[in-house]
């Protein structure tokens, strides 16, 4: 299987951060076209705004700018929708602030057209509406660009199920659609095929890869009466399976529901910008009202009469100045920088919220197989009584004709040692037990220790060692020749070399590691002991993994590191889902962060980059509000023309951009170029119809 890492090395896999699917590209392209139209309108608006200040120009400029300010709402239809949704749900967010600012400018311009007060910047108010909406749409589009790698996990899960099923009815084999299969039907599954349904074996024997269910790298022997799970991969034998579950009751459908439930129940991460806006927006509205009241009440108290024109001007100017344009770019720009820094260390950021959440994570849940371990089943130990090479040579010769994964692993181990296979005269495989072979005239037994003893072989002093190896979670194969024991071959997975150091560093930083696996308890506890993990949950099903993560979230923010389909619901549920790059597509699509290099120490690197990205976002927020802290009070005086609000907006955006991209300007240009390149890769909606 080609890993994500290999694909990246070969250049066949697009960056998940900046390479969404065609349908996601379509949304980016549509929004990008709106951004271009609004920016073009802004480019015309700015000179017209200055032109209006020239006394020799008639009032037609104000009418043109008024038409522009109305048209921007048509170019940004989602603004009003999002603002209305925010009001209904009681949220104070950017769309609401933008709507207040844009409507303030529009109302201010209409007042100028109708009332025609002297020395009133009618066109300036209209221009403010255009520029506020244009900048907001750009920032929203840029944020969409950052988030564009949205999850396709459910769709990919459905794709695992074969579209057609080979059904046996009236002793006749025929292919039918999966939807036409009912409980009780008999389905034939040939070697190497993916099981199309959940069922029970009626006849045949085979080793079935159920790693998507348990995470166990070792295939499971299946024979008459054993249950099999749809989307598992059949080994070398042919199986006749009776269907026991269909539709919504199947295992994959349960996983799909678990993913959807996890997504729905996942605790939201309140964005820093939103937290600030919850305080900022009410303060702005209060200040706008106070400015209006001041210019009505104070002059009246002095006997000059209420200054209605100045009151309206001040209130509207506050609303316009209040929109922190730079705020809309604060987080996206910091995330682009963070994603670029992460990519240099083999880390792909798929969602923006992950970095914000990761810096406050207190627990990290680990899957075992393929995450803490390498996920590769192979020979790990050899216990020879006399000659190691002889032991491997005879075992490899006997297993040479076997298609079982254990046999393949033994043959591979002998080949790695440069051992030539001996000549085999006879061969007989006992499914799920072992093999009998005549090698160079000698009777050789290779298989389970019980298989060897039952067929005349002896273990002798190896019996005690068998027990210890099995307790350590190894799969043990005994080898005998003419009844005499030659030794043991222990197979299993291998702990990643950097795992212990990574776990120790996490604990040093105050992060509690938790091992949650579908593997058996002995294997899980062995790994946990070697890595220094105290909290172990073994023999856990996919739905239970998500429940464990949900339970742990009561104690604080939780990250989940996994690689398989069985991890997908938990990856979705966690505040931060982290997938190993060598894992399944489903795991990668369910995760927020992908570790391309498959190194556990990259998890800590991702956390460190997340912290820096979050600090940069905080700095950007401060920059944005420093300008507004000066500009909004000035606007309340009624002396600040809307044109100066636009100047402040440009300066604040420049400050945020410079802070985010200092030393890494190429990141932003490459991101924008990538979108432009993809825009040319897909047909336009008109062309596709």
**Residues ≥6 apart with Cβ < 8 Å to 636:** 287, 288, 290, 291, 294, 314, 317, 318
Is 367 known to be catalytic? yes
**Residues ≥6 apart with Cβ < 8 Å to 544:** none
Phi, psi (degrees; rounded to nearest 5) at 577: -95, 130
Distances (CA, A) of 90 to 93, 129, 265, 274, 670: 10, 24, 20, 12, 38
For residues 553 and 360, is the Cβ–Cβ distance under 8 A? no
Which stretch of DSSP H or E encloses residue 609? Answer: helix 601-636
Token readout for 489 is: 């071959």
| Residue 431 per-residue DSSP state | T
Token readout for 469 is: 């190896």
CA distance linking residue 243 with residue 181, whole number of Å: 8
Query: Does residue 450 sit in helix, strand or coil?
Result: helix
**Residues ≥6 apart with Cβ < 8 Å to 179:** none
Token readout for 367 is: 């899957």
For residues 102 and 132, is the Cβ–Cβ distance under 8 A? yes
Which residues does residue 383 pair with via DSSP β-bridges, in sequence order?
488
CA distance linking residue 645 with residue 17, whole number of Å: 34
For residues 604 and 502, is the Cβ–Cβ distance under 8 A? yes
**CA-wise closest residue to 76 among 128, 27, 127, 134:** 134
Distances (CA, A) of 595 to 4, 360, 465, 496, 598: 9, 19, 38, 14, 5
Distances (CA, A) of 584 to 349, 567, 570, 578: 17, 10, 14, 12
CA distance linking residue 242 with residue 231, whole number of Å: 15
For residues 496 and 601, is the Cβ–Cβ distance under 8 A? no
Catalytic residue among 25, 209, 341, 367: 367
Catalytic sites, residue numbers: 367
């Amino acid at each position: 299987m080609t890993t994500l890492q290999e694909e990246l090395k070969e250049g066949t896999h697009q960056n998940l951060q900046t390479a969404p699917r065609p349908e996601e590209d379509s949304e980016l392209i549509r929004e990008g076209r709106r951004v271009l139209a609004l920016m073009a309108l802004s480019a015309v608006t700015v000179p017209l705004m200055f032109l209006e200040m020239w006394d020799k120009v008639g009032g037609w400029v104000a009418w043109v700018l008024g038409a522009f300010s109305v048209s921007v709402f048509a170019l940004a239809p989602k603004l009003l929708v999002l603002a209305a949704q925010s009001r209904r749900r009681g949220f104070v967010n950017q769309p609401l602030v933008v709507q207040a600012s844009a409507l303030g400018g529009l109302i201010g311009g209409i007042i100028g057209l109708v009332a025609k007060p002297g020395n009133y910047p009618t066109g300036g108010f209209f221009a403010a509406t255009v520029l506020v909406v244009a900048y907001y749409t750009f920032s929203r589009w840029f944020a969409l660009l950052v988030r564009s790698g949205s999850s396709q996990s459910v769709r990919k899960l459905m794709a695992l199920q074969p579209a057609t099923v080979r059904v046996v009815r009236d002793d006749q084999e025929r292919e039918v659609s999966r939807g036409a299969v009912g409980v009780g039907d008999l389905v034939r599954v040939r070697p190497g095929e993916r099981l199309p349904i959940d069922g029970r074996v009626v006849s045949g024997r085979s080793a079935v890869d159920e790693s998507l269910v348990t995470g166990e790298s070792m295939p499971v022997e299946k024979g008459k009466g054993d249950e099999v799970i749809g989307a598992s991969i059949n080994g070398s034998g042919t199986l006749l399976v009776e269907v026991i579950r269909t539709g919504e009751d199947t295992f994959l459908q349960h996983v799909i529901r678990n993913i959807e439930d996890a997504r729905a129940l996942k605790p939201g991460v309140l964005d820093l910008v939103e937290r600030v806006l919850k305080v900022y927006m009410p303060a702005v509205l209060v200040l706008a009202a106070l400015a209006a009241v001041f210019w009505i009440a104070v002059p009246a108290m002095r006997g000059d009469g209420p200054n209605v024109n100045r009151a309206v001007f001040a209130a509207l100017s506050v609303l316009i100045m209040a929109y922190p344009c730079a705020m809309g770019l604060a987080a996206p720009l910091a995330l682009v920088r963070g994603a670029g820094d992460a990519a240099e260390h083999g880390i792909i950021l798929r969602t923006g919220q992950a970095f914000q959440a990761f810096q406050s994570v207190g627990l990290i849940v680990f899957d075992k197989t393929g995450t803490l371990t390498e996920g590769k089943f192979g020979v790990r130990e050899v216990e020879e009584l006399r000659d190691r090479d002889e032991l491997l040579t005879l075992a490899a010769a006997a297993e040479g004709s076997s298609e079982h994964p254990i046999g393949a692993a033994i043959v591979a181990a002998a080949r790695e040692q440069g051992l030539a296979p001996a000549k085999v005269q006879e061969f007989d495989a006992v499914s799920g037990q072992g093999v009998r072979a005549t090698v160079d005239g000698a009777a050789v037994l290779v298989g389970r220790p019980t298989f060897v003893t039952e067929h005349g072989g002896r273990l002798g002093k190896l019996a005690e060692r068998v027990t210890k190896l099995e307790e350590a979670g190894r799969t043990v194969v005994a080898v005998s020749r003419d009844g005499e024991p030659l030794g043991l071959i222990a197979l299993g997975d291998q702990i990643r070399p950097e795992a212990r150091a990574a776990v120790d560093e996490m604990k040093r930083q105050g992060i509690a590691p938790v091992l949650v696996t579908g593997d058996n308890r002995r294997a899980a506890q062995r790994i946990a002991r070697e890595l220094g993990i105290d909290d172990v949950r073994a023999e856990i099903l996919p739905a239970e993994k998500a429940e464990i993560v949900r339970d742990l979230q009561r104690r604080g923010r939780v990250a989940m590191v996994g690689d398989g389909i069985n991890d997908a619901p938990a990856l979705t549920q966690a505040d931060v889902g982290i997938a190993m790059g060598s894992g399944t597509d489903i795991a990668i699509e369910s995760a927020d962060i992908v570790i391309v290099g498959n190194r556990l120490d990259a998890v800590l690197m991702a956390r460190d980059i997340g912290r820096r990205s979050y600090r940069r976002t905080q700095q950007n927020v401060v920059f944005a509000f420093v300008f507004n802290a000066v500009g909004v009070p000035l606007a309340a005086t009624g002396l600040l023309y809307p044109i100066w609000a636009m100047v402040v907006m440009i300066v604040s955006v420049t400050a945020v951009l410079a802070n985010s991209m200092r030393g890494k300007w190429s990141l932003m240009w490459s991101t924008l170029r990538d979108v432009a390149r993809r825009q040319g890769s897909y047909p336009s909606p008109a062309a596709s119809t």
